[in-house]
Every structure is written in C-alpha cells, then in structure tokens.
Amino acid sequence: MFFRVIIFFILFCGFSLLTFAQVIVRGNVCDTNGEALVGATVIVREVPGKGTVTDEDGNYLLSVKEKREVYTIEVSYIGYMTQHRRLRKKENREDFVMKEEGMNLETVVVTGTRTPKLLKEAPIITRVITSEDISRVNATHIGQLLETELPGIEFSYSMDQQVSLNLQGFGGNSILFLVDGERLAGETLDNIDYNRLNLDNVERIEIVKGAASSLYGSNAVGGVVNIISKEVKKPWTVNLNGRYNTNNEQVYGGSVGFKLKEFSSQTHVQYAFSDFLSLKNDGDYSVIYGGYNWNFKENITYQPIERLKLTARAGYFFRQRDSKPDIKDRYRDFSGGLKGVYDIKDNQNIEIAYGFDQYDKSNYILIGENDVREYSNVQHSVRTVYSLNIGKNNIIVGGDYLRDYLMTYQFEDGSKMQHTADAFAQFDWNPSKSFNIINGIRFDYFSDRKLFHVSPKLGLMYKINNCSLRGSYAGGFRAPTLKEMYMSFDMANIFMIYGNPDLKPEQSHNLSVSAEYTKSRYNVTLTGFYNLVDNRITTVWNAARKGMVYTNMAQLKVSGVDANVSARYPCGLSARVSYTFTHEKIRKGEPLTTQTRPHSATIKLDYGKDWKNYGFNAMITGRVLSKVDTDVYTSLTNYEETVRQTYPGYTIWKLNISQRIWKGINLNLAVDNLFNYVPDYYYSNSPSTVGTSFTMGLSVDMDRMFGK
C-alpha cells in the first residue's frame, strides 16, 4: 500500500511539474490591411522543431512543455518582414500584423512574363507598388501615386485641361494601362481616362518600362502599367472609407466581399468630387475645372471543381467635368467580362477570356437638358492562353482577337471599325539556378490596312551571389489608330486636323542592361536603356490644306539611366532614393518637340511601429524635377514658326501619417506641398498647386472590428 502511494505521489508531482511548465500561446497573423495570412510559419526559437502554421483565418495555437522562464515566438511569411516576441507568461494571446518586406523581392509578379514569377527571379525589370505603398501615399489619382513612386514620369495638362502622360519620352498612346490584364477602351488626346483607375481595392501595381509588344501588342511600345485587384480571402469583408482635402476634394468609397465555399463575390463603390480651384498667378489657364465621378465594380468567382476557376466581372463609370457654365462634359464606361482557368494537369493550364468595354463621351446642355453623345468606343475581345511547365521551364502560347468600333464627331462619315488578331509564344528557360533566359515572339494583324507585324523579345538574367545581372532586347510597335488615319476635325474654327490612311506603324528597338545588388537590408539597382524609334506618329502643319496632318517622323532616339537605392531596417525605418536621366535626340527640323525633363528623382523616408492595438507610420516623400527647354509655336495661327521656351524645374514634398487606431480603424493625415511651392506662371506641365494643402482620410474594416 505504501509503495502504491509513493508511486502515485511521484506521478502526481511529475504531472504537476509538466502542467506548470506548459506555455500556451495563441493569436492571429494578418497583413497591414487586416487580411489573414494563411500558412504563415510560427515557431519557438528555443525549441527546435516546435512550430505550426496559421489556418485559413490566420489563427494559430502553440503549446510548449519545457521548463523555461522566457520563450521567443517567431512569425515569418514570404514577402513579409519576420517578427518575434519574448513571452514570460504561461498563457499568451499574441496577434501579429506583418509588414511587407521593404525590398518586395518575394512578391509574385505576372506582367513582365505573363506567368507568375518571384520579383527577384524575373528577368524583365519590373517595379512593384504594393497596397501598403498605396495606402501610405494617400493618393486619390493614379497620377499622384505614380509620380510619387517613380522618377521619369509626369502627368500634365494638354489642350482643354485634358490629362496627358510622359514616361521617359513616351506619351500616353505608347504606355499600355491594364486592369487585371485587360485593356481599356476610349481615349482623349491620345490618353485613356485615368479617372477610371480606382486605387481602392488594389493588391499591387506592376510597371514594366520599355517595349512589351511581344506579349501585349500595340500601344505597349513604351511600357506597361498593370493594376491588379485584391482577391477575397476571408468569409466576409466590409470596408468604408472617406477622404477630404482642404481644396475641397472629397472621396468616399466602400466595398463588400464574402467567400462561401466555392463561391466568392466582391462589390466596390466610389464617389469622388473636386471643386473649382482658382490659381494664384498668371498662366496658360487660371482655374482648374471641378466635377465628380462614380465608379462601380463587381467581381464574382465560382470554383465548381478543384481544377476549374470561373470569374465574372462588371463595371460602370460616370464622370462629369464642369468646364463651361452652360455645358457639362460627361464620360461613361460600361465594362464586363468572363474568364475561365482550367488546370489540365498539375503542370499545365489553359485560360479563356472574353471582355467587353464601351467608353462614351457626351455634352450635357443645361438649356433643354439634352445629353448629346458624340463619341463611343466599343471593344469586344477574346483571349486564349495555354501554359506548360516542364521542370523549371515554362512555355506559353496564346492568341487574341479584338473588334474595335469607334464613332466620333471627328470623322466625316461618323464611324469606323477594325478587327485585330494576334498569336504569341514565349519560352522561359532555366538551365541552372543562376541563369534564366526568356524569349518570345508575337504576330499581329490589323484588318484596316491589312497590316502584319512581328515583335520579338529576349531577356537574360544571371545571378552571382548577391548580384543579379539582367539584359534584354524587345521590339515594340504601335499601329496607327482609327483616329490617326481618318480624322477630319475642325479645331474651334482655327484650323483643321486631318488623318492619314497611309501612316506606317511606329516601331522601336529597346535595349536595356541592369545590375542589382541585394544584401540584408539594402538594395541597389542601376539600369541603362536605349530606345530607337522609327516612324513615330505626330501632326505636321500643312500650309496647302491649312491644317495639321498626321505623319511619320524621322528616327528618334531615347536613352538614359535609372538608379535606385533603398534600405529597410528592423526598427521600422526605411528609405529609398530613385533617379532617372532621360535624353531625347530628335533630328533638327522634325515637327516633334520634347517636353521630357532630363533629370528627375523621387525620395522616400518612412518610419513605422506596430503594437497590439495601435500602429503608426510617418512618411516623407519628395519629387524633384529639372527644367526642360522646348520649342513652342509662336501663335495659334502660325504652326511653322517656333520659339524656345524653358519650363522651370520644381520640387514638391509631402508628409503622410497613417495610424492603426484600433481593430479595423485606420486614420490617415497628409500635408501636401510642405514648403508651399507655387509656380510663378502656370504652364501645362507645371504643378497646378496653389500652396500647401491638408488631407484627412478614414478607413474602417467592419469585419476586423466585429469579426472573431
């Protein structure tokens, strides 16, 4: 009996000691937007082999049965900065808000190769702007965001305050903008309606500079900007947000999403308003037009079986611009699409997609309340892409068909239509861990001119320790548009603009070489580029016809250097300096004049810290642009004589402070134009600022506030 009591006592004491030594820790792992990080690794540093991964809601549970006073819990996730915390209590609740890695090298990108690839493994130089970058910059327009993040890009005004783009010598008609890989219909003065590009609910933006015609065809002669939307990952999400600027710019939006087994849906609505803004000094214009716009989007995903994913999308956009007292400019867009992706086997899949986009412009005449439509661009597109993985190598082949209809007041007979078709192929070859070769070719056909064009591409990447060397050649082209071939337009009774059906397509040869060094917290990239452009399309004054006529100009050379230095420290401090030098060489006597600033730079310095129920980030961004000398016409009636004009350089600084106040509540405060810069004279490509302005934004994630 005594022996049994002793045994029981020993077992009881052992059990008590084990229980006393047991440490239990549980919590949730999410990103800075509150999205659960599924599969994040959670380990105990002091106990080898002890760890777990987060579930579909980002939750984890760990139990440790070793006698220690202090434990260190470490959480890691690809593309995010590793976090760790020291625990002393026996039961702990530890939630982790993971910040994306400053270098973003683990981000998966698709634009440069059309297949998923880690950024650090991509042979085509790609710049990524993450959702975290977007929220911190506090931008309401795609132009504000890109100008803050990228040197060498400038959004300015052209005729009648229409927004135009210049990216290292290439205009808006040479830079292809995509939303989830889909083209946009409609243009004004060679630029799409940038107001359509809603920055809410964006996962990331991928920018590929240089010709990308081998994958995306016409209009990608100067580069591609692909805006990629977020996917629904949680059972339900509700977000409400608003933003107010002291210049009376207001933005309000909301989104609702849910995921139920194989079905998910996301609905997004945004309203934006801007008031008239009177400028302080003389200039080419004295007031910035006001107006408002609505943007609706719906995305539905259905996965009936594991290997098949179906997606449907629909959108409506409306914008009104108050440019005249008695007439309002109105812009509408209706879009929709269906896409199916089927995994034939684990190493191969096929994608079939249909898209529809109709962009209309009208004049709303207040007297009589007549809404007169004067422009409509309707596009129907079909795309098929097949992908095959063979070991570490990948082959894709595909084709597109586009029916392009354009009705405009600028045509004598009212409307034109064109059919385009293409076929492309690409081989991504990895002969070793250090060496990657990607080559592709595309064949395009345009029915109107029976135009046939071939666009090749070759990209190389070689890694040596912490250094990545890249080189690429790409052939780019831009077919003449229906407007450029058939326009016959009376420009306010001043002169005529005539199209030219004999235009040749623009062609370019793009070469680039780069070296990237990454080690620990530092990243340095240096890139040299050279573009040889033939037959660039522009307008030339024709004295006999007393008007401007579209024509092909002589060879144009655009070359330069991109440099980027960035650093990210564990304390939450990060910095980045980017610089671009661009040189355009235009043969003397050619009608095209440059407005590309030779020197530009962006600077970013930010510091952030996160606790359990509070986090903040303070960021200062600067944009530095040099002066540019250009030629302008001497008068509105003489388009043969020009005079030398200098557009002055300028610097704009901005302070952003974002705070995570409580579960799902984020407050953003911004001071734009910190040092109160005001142009002495307002040119079309000078900033339309009247001085320092203040912005406050509030975003509430209801699912994080009331969810588990």
pLDDT in the model for residue 267 = 96
CB 536 within 8 A of CB 550: no
pLDDT in the model for residue 18 = 41
Distances (CA, A) of 690 to 280, 305, 384: 6, 57, 49
pLDDT tens, residue by residue, 140-177: 889 999 999 999 999 999 888 999 999 998 999 999 99
- Phi-psi region at 207: left, alpha or beta (left = phi > 0; alpha = psi -120 to 50): beta
Which is nearest to 403 in space by CA: 385, 423, 420, 384?
A: 420
What is the band of 6 on the pLDDT scale with cuts at 50, 70, 90? very low
State residue 677 phi and psi, 5-degree precision: -75, 130
Top mean pLDDT of 215-224, 225-234, 373-382, 538-547 is at 373-382
DSSP run (H or E) holding 413 = none
Distance CA(336)–CA(334), nearest Å, equals 7
pLDDT tens, residue by residue, 395-450: 999 999 999 999 999 998 889 999 999 999 999 999 998 999 999 999 999 998 88
pLDDT in the model for residue 140 = 82
Top mean pLDDT of 50-59, 177-186, 512-521 is at 177-186
Residues 497-511: what's their mean pLDDT?
Answer: 94
Which is nearest to 597 in space by CA: 647, 537, 531, 533?
A: 647
- DSSP letter assigned to residue 221: S
Q: If you search the block for the tokens 């790409």, which residue do you land on?
A: 474
pLDDT in the model for residue 591 = 66
Q: Which fold, 108-706?
A: Maltoporin; Chain A (2.40.170)
Q: Please, where are the H alpha helices in 375-416? A: none
Whether the predicted pLDDT of 655 surpasses 70:
yes
Amino acid identity of residue 94, one-letter, is: E
DSSP run (H or E) holding 50 = none
CB 94 within 8 A of CB 86: no
Distance CA(113)–CA(462), nearest Å, equals 17
Residues 460-471: what's their mean pLDDT?
Answer: 94
pLDDT in the model for residue 589 = 66
Q: Which range is least confidently modeled, 95-99, 317-321, 579-583?
A: 95-99
pLDDT in the model for residue 19 = 42
pLDDT in the model for residue 211 = 87
- The mean predicted confidence, pLDDT, of the chain is 88
CB 534 within 8 A of CB 477: no
What is the band of 582 on the pLDDT scale with cuts at 50, 70, 90? very high
What is the band of 8 on the pLDDT scale with cuts at 50, 70, 90? very low
Whether the predicted pLDDT of 642 surpasses 50:
yes
Whether the predicted pLDDT of 117 surpasses 60:
yes
pLDDT tens, residue by residue, 209-229: 988 888 999 889 999 999 999
What is the band of 37 on the pLDDT scale with cuts at 50, 70, 90? confident
pLDDT in the model for residue 638 = 59
pLDDT tens, residue by residue, 278-310: 999 999 889 999 999 999 999 999 999 989 999
| Higher pLDDT, residue 449 or 461 | 461
Residues of the chain with CATH 2.40.170.20: 108-706
Residues of the chain with CATH 2.60.40.1120: 2-98
pLDDT tens, residue by residue, 321-371: 998 889 999 999 999 999 999 999 989 999 999 999 999 999 999 988 899
State percent of the chain over pLDDT 70: 92
pLDDT in the model for residue 67 = 66
Distances (CA, A) of 552 to 70, 213, 533, 559: 74, 20, 11, 21
| Higher pLDDT, residue 36 or 472 | 472
Q: Which fold, 2-98?
A: Immunoglobulin-like (2.60.40)
pLDDT in the model for residue 652 = 95
The SS3 assignment for 10 reads: helix
Distance CA(507)–CA(462), nearest Å, equals 29
Distances (CA, A) of 444 to 119, 186, 397, 535, 549: 29, 21, 14, 18, 26
The widest CA-to-CA distance across the chain, in whole angstroms, is: 123
What is the band of 566 on the pLDDT scale with cuts at 50, 70, 90? very high
Distance CA(231)–CA(131), nearest Å, equals 12
Q: If you search the block for the tokens 């402070």, which residue do you land on?
A: 657
Distance CA(348)–CA(438), nearest Å, equals 18
Q: Give the count of alpha carbons within 13 A of 182, CB side only.
A: 25
Which is nearest to 483 in space by CA: 591, 554, 405?
A: 405
Residues 41-47: what's their mean pLDDT?
Answer: 83
First to last CA, the chain: 52
